[in-house]
Amino acid sequence: MSSSGFRKLWSVPIVTAEWNTEYEERSADWWELFVDLIIVAAATNVADTLKEDMSWHGLVWFCIVFSLFISGMNLYSQYTTRYLDTSLLNSFFLFLYLYGTAVMVVNANVEYARTFCVGMLIQRAAVFLMQGGVFVLLARAKKHASIECFILLTSMAAILIGRFIDTDRGYAVVLIFLAVWENFYFVFIILFVRIKHHELVPLNIDHFADRVGAMVMVVLGESIVSAIINYNKLSESQRTTEYYEAMALTLLLTYAVGLIYFSLQPPRDLHALRRHSYSGIGFLLLHMVLAISLLAMGVGIKFIIDAVINPDPEESYLSRDQVWLFFGSLGIALISMILIRVLHFWGRPSPHDPPLMKQIKSGWWGGFFILMWTPLLCGYFTLKASPDAVDPFTMLGLSVACVFGIGIIETIITHILVSMGQDSVVPVAARSPRSIRATSYGSAGDGPMACLLSDDEENVPTIEDVNLN
């Protein structure tokens, strides 16, 4: 069924958000959950490649391949958070996208790079057909869709060149190029493409934020899977109290990471995607770093669980590289989270805050910039104390103490702020009955693609600029 009734064979895509208008929140549709399920499999397979090869070569391959899964997901999200098309033709394009992604998943190992590129070609071609439909059928979005089609054509051309060269080195160069191009093409557009502001199609910010949040949960799910998926491989002697304790600590760690990420999520008016073009680009890139680091943390958890259930006492410890993988990835994930908050909230002081509240907020920022480095410090001092072999419960205990401790401290601070009357992240100006709630649709925001403004459109006021008090 479509939003207007029965499904059609083909239909004109509907723009889900427009400039200078308030739009309804939109939740994920069922077909997006199909995408999420395949990304779950992708996370598991890519994590296994790093577990099998912990060399620098294996780490680089891990980062490149998973960044390409993320960029492929973002390319589709750029479409589905702008347009709605439930026709049978679009469903066929989506099936091609899912099939291409599945081909990538089963060929995520470096020795299958050739077939991995075939899956990428199918996936990118499917999104190109979707954007091509917008270009042909929707005059409102023709110029925007032409930019997206150019991005996808460039990616597909690079893959075809790699297929023509057909050497390991050629595929490596192509994959590195695509990892850079598809995650940084917004910068190219800002520098070299001139398009009028009203010709761009804004993102549905709420929907896109949901998609990014789903990606974070999918990657966190790999850590949970790492802790509990071995049930069919466990003998009776391995189902010990230590195993269940390790499983509980792993679940607590991943739960605490989710608690920190999803706390203080900004409303639409304060979102980095609306704030400025570069904050939107930073939002996407930091989420790519966050997803890769959380998946690497999941690999670290695999090593921890393997050490816990290993019956050989000599093999029930973790090596130096495994310790740094776990604590390093956790530290990078937490640093990414605080930087994402910087993109949302930094430089938005409320003039109505009393001095004490300003001090609390300043302490919150300063304290968390320091606390986010604690996993890296834990890794350093743990290896100082035991450089050759580290107990898995030491690693789990320290990581849970760091992450859950940060969550508790943050909750205490926000509890104090609520008791002082600061019960929302929405600025006072936006809630005050004497204030104008100015939309920022005309400002440099609403998605990285919405930043290509002409000179006379760059200084439209946002909600921080308008206050009658």
Mean pLDDT of 58-65: 94
Lowest mean pLDDT among 137-146, 154-163, 456-465: 456-465
| Cβ–Cβ < 8 Å for 75, 152 | yes
pLDDT higher for 349 or 22? 22
Give percent above pLDDT 70 in the chain.
Answer: 85
Residue 413 CA to its chain's centroid (Å) = 26
In the prediction, which pLDDT does 423 show?
60
- SS3 category, 318: strand
Mean pLDDT of the chain: 81
Copy the structure tokens of residue 367.
């304290």
Residues 6+ apart with CB under 8 A from 335: 372, 373
Mean pLDDT of 313-334: 89
* Closest alpha carbon to 227 in 261, 252, 258, 256: 252
Residue 425 identity (one-letter amino acid) = V
- When computed from its CA atoms, the radius of gyration of the chain, rounded to whole angstroms, is 24
In the prediction, which pLDDT does 323 show?
92
Residue 391 identity (one-letter amino acid) = D
| Cβ–Cβ < 8 Å for 21, 198 | no
Q: What are the residue boundaries of the structural domains of the chain, listed by start?
A: 29-193, 207-469
In the prediction, which pLDDT does 280 show?
87
CA-to-CA distance for 431 and 424, rounded, in angstroms? 10
The helix (run of H) or strand (run of E) holding residue 430 is helix 428-431
- Residue 281 sits at φ, ψ, to 5 deg, of -65, -45
CA-to-CA distance for 257 and 454, rounded, in angstroms? 41
Copy the structure tokens of residue 19.
């400039």
pLDDT higher for 465 or 333? 333
End-to-end CA distance of the chain: 49
In the prediction, which pLDDT does 237 show?
66
* Per-position b or e across 21-31, b if 16+ CB within 10 A of its CB: eebeebebeee
CA-to-CA distance for 289 and 214, rounded, in angstroms? 15
HEC string of 227-266? HHHHHHHCCHHHCCHHHHHHHHHHHHHHHHHHHHHHCCCC
In the prediction, which pLDDT does 270 show?
83
Copy the structure tokens of residue 11.
């239909």
| DSSP code string of 10-25 | S-PPEE---TTS----
CA dist 227 → 41, 196, 257, 308 (Å): 16, 51, 16, 11
HEC string of 448-460? HHHHCCCHHHCCC
Residues 6+ apart with CB under 8 A from 421: none
- SS3 category, 349: coil
pLDDT band for position 39 (50/70/90)? very high
pLDDT band for position 17 (50/70/90)? confident
Contacts 24+ apart (CB under 8 A), 434-439: 434/468, 434/469, 435/466, 435/467, 435/468, 435/469, 436/466, 436/467, 436/468, 437/269, 437/463, 438/462, 438/463, 438/465, 438/466, 439/20, 439/22, 439/269, 439/463
